[in-house]
């Protein structure tokens, strides 16, 4: 053995010892880190809690109090959109690798599918005895003649228009006269029909009564915003209501302000309940969705065309990017075959159409 070899051996043993200690220390550090890292079921507990809250919010929306600020009605107006929270929370759960958050998301998924899953299917059937349509034509509509021509081409036998104003009513009468020989207009609402009409009368949906002093002057609506008439069909008389309920507003002081609309809902509910004809259709801009509890007086008596025979959610407002179904067709005593939304006109609402049968 050479001197160089004898001198090298101690260094090799030292380095070997130091390497072993280093590896041991690194292993200990890794074990400590692994031991201190939360398990998948312990990570993302905040996300899991948010997922459960989202599910409970949708499941128990009817329990949310309406005071102060009509919070319950506001939540129910946009209830389908709460489903957007599911993919957001799912992305967070995957990023955090949280098994608990993913599991908790099952609740809002199941609740949303239970509430709205049917809206994703096409429930329409071919054929109908009568086609009815409704459209808030918009007071600021820049092209009422074009809107009238689009509606005439829809194929509807009965057509309801809301938000008519004196400056444009004549235009609609002129443009629709060829397609609809019968029509009636009361205030800001009207009905055009291919079949004879009779017995037209106004429905007071703006009777404020004892609430008159609590309604701001700039939000009080004219009383001529609803009518009742009878359409003569081959199957007998069909009672048609046309209504444009009061507007709703969201502001920091009052919250979700719905007083005028709610008064109209109650008036319509009473009118439909007192209606002797078994076959009834309600057309109009109701300024709310049928998920809103305030419409229970109406939905307990009538069926929504979009819910029963539509394809999709049928959002109608605003026309540029619809987020709520403010325009409705509801029926009693007839069968719903189909329901759909027409393309945009010059209005800020989209027209709605439904096919009904006896």
Sheet containing 130-136, strands listed edge to edge, beginning at the edge strand earlier in sequence: 182-186, 189-193, 158-162, 130-136, 352-357, 335-341
Long-range contacts of 79-85 (CB under 8 A, 24+ apart): 79/115, 79/289, 79/291, 80/115, 80/116, 80/119, 80/291, 80/313, 81/323, 82/54, 82/57, 82/58, 82/108, 82/112, 83/58, 83/108, 83/112, 83/116, 85/50, 85/54
Each residue of 287-305: pLDDT tens digit?
999 999 999 999 999 999 9
Q: Is the predicted pLDDT of residue 101 greater than 80, yes or no?
A: yes
Is residue 10 located within the same domain as residue 154? Answer: no
Q: Looking at the structure, do residues 79 and 175 belong to the same domain, yes or no?
A: no
User: Of the given ranges (42-46, 180-184, 240-244, 253-257), which has the lowest mean pLDDT?
Assistant: 253-257
Which pLDDT tens digit goes with each residue over 188-220? Answer: 999 999 999 999 999 999 875 544 445 555 444
Give the pLDDT score at 224: 83
Residue 40 domain flag: no
- 39 inside domain: no
The C-alpha angle 313, 314, 316, rounded to 5 degrees, equals 130
**Number of domains the chain is built from:** 3
Residues 188 and 67 in one domain: no
Q: Select from 345, 181, 356, 177 the least CA-distant residue to 283.
A: 356
Q: 345, 317 in Cβ contact below 8 A? A: no
| Count of beta carbons in the 10 Å neighbourhood of residue 286 | 26
Q: Which of 70, 96, 120 is the last residue of a domain?
A: 120
User: Which range of residues forms the domain containing residue 353?
Assistant: 130-357
The Cα 16–Cα 338 span in angstroms is 83
pTM for the whole thing? 0.85
Note the pLDDT of residue 37: 56
User: What is the per-residue pLDDT for 26?
Assistant: 66
Enter the tokens of residue 4.
Answer: 């160089």
Residue at which a domain ends, from 61, 93, 120 = 120
Residue 125 within any structural domain of the chain: no
Instruction: Give me the mean pLDDT over the 225-229 stretch.
Output: 97
All residues at 6 or more sequence positions from 249 whose CB lies less than 8 Å from its CB, including other chains: 219, 256, 257
Does residue 174 share a domain with residue 30?
A: no
The pairing of strands 327-332 and 303-304 is antiparallel
């Amino acid at each position: 053995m050479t001197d160089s070899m004898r001198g090298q051996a101690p260094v090799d043993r030292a380095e070997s010892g130091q390497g072993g200690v280093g590896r041991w220390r690194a292993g200990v550090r890794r074990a400590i880190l692994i031991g201190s890292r939360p398990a998948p079921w312990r990570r993302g507990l905040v996300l899991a809690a948010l997922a459960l809250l989202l599910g409970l919010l949708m499941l128990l929306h009817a329990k949310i109090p309406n005071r102060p600020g009509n919070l319950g009605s506001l939540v129910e107006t946009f209830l389908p959109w709460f489903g957007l929270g599911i993919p957001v929370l799912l992305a967070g759960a995957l990023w955090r690798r949280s098994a608990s958050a993913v599991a908790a998301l099952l609740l809002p998924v199941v609740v949303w599918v239970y509430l709205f899953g049917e809206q994703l299917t096409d429930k329409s059937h071919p054929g109908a005895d009568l086609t009815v349509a409704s459209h808030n034509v918009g007071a600021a509509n820049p092209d009422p003649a074009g809107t009238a021509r689009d509606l005439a081409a829809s194929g509807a036998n009965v057509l309801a228009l809301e938000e008519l104003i004196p400056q444009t009513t004549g235009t609609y009468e002129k443009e629709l006269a060829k397609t609809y020989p019968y029509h009636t207009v009361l205030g800001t609402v009207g009905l055009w029909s291919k079949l004879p009409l009779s017995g037209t009368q106004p429905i007071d949906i703006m009777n404020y009564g004892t609430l008159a002093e609590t309604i701001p002057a700039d939000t009080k609506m004219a009383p001529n915003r609803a009518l009742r008439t009878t359409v003569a069909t081959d199957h007998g008389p069909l009672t048609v209501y046309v209504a444009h309920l009061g507007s709703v507003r969201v502001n920091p002081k009052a919250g979700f302000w719905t007083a005028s609309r709610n008064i109209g809902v109650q008036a319509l509910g009473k009118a439909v309940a007192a209606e002797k004809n078994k076959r009834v259709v309600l057309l109009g801009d109701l300024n709310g969705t049928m998920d809103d509890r305030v419409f229970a007086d109406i939905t307990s008596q009538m069926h929504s065309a979009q819910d029963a025979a539509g394809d999709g959610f049928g959002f109608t407002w605003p026309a540029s990017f619809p987020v709520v179904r403010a325009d409705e067709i509801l029926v009693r005593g007839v069968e719903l075959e189909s329901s759909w939304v027409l393309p945009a006109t010059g209005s800020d609402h989209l027209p709605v159409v439904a096919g009904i049968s006896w």
